[in-house]
Amino acid sequence: MSKNHFSKIIGILFLPFLLFSFIPKHAIHLSITEMDFKVKGEKTEIQISHKIFINDLEKALRKNYKIAFEKQKPNISTKTQHKEIDRYIYAYLKKVVDLKINSQKKEINYIGFEFEDDVIWIYGVVEKENSAEKEPIFIKNMILMDVFDDQRNMLYLSKENSEKERIKEFLNFTSNNRTETTNF
């Protein structure tokens, strides 16, 4: 095999690598929600944590509250953040997240948020009466689905049973599967 022929073969093999290495990678559109059921005397407290990429949440706020953000962008986690950003974050979540236990709607009381690198953790709580039985729980999780067609929302449920063992369940929400009902 000649040196020229060998160079052509290497070039042909190397060309696809060069072409595909410069194609921009597609962003991942993902949120994670954790619901931890904690028995507190006569009641159970459901502690809810949403983990959302800040730039994605800013896009959702701009889309859903155009008038509020037409002069000042949300700028979550910066010194120039909108003065009422928490109100808009909580309003947005109440619009896209729904929780029913035993067919009764439960209002999520959002209590705060904190930042971790390029994500925001948003915390909420729901109280309900204790039950020894598994209860049907309906969950709608459409976080950012109004912004991204490929959005995926993962939800982790956890609680301690009477034997002090941790019970866990995982639910996956997509644009084709925005609600789930589980007995937990």
pLDDT tens-digit series, residues 35-90: 999 998 899 999 999 999 999 999 999 999 998 888 788 888 877 888 899 999 99
Please calculate the CA angle 59-118-75 and round it to the nearest 5 degrees. 45
Give the predicted TM-score (pTM) of the model. 0.82
Average pLDDT of 117-139? Answer: 93
pLDDT band at 27 (very low <50, low <70, confident <90, very high): confident
CB 112 within 8 A of CB 120: no
Q: What is the mean pLDDT of the chain?
A: 87
In the block, tokens 């060998």 appear at 6
- Estimate the crossing angle of helix 85-96 against helix 54-64, to 10 degrees: 80
pLDDT band at 18 (very low <50, low <70, confident <90, very high): very low
Beta strand segments in 54-160, E? 97-101, 104-105, 109-116, 119-129, 136-141, 152-160
Q: What token pair was written down for 72?
A: 């000042």
**pLDDT on residue 13:** 52
Please state, in angstroms and rounded to a whole number, the distance separating the CA atoms of residues 184 and 164. 15
Q: Tell me the domains of the chain and their CATH numbers.
A: 26-183 (2.60.40.10)
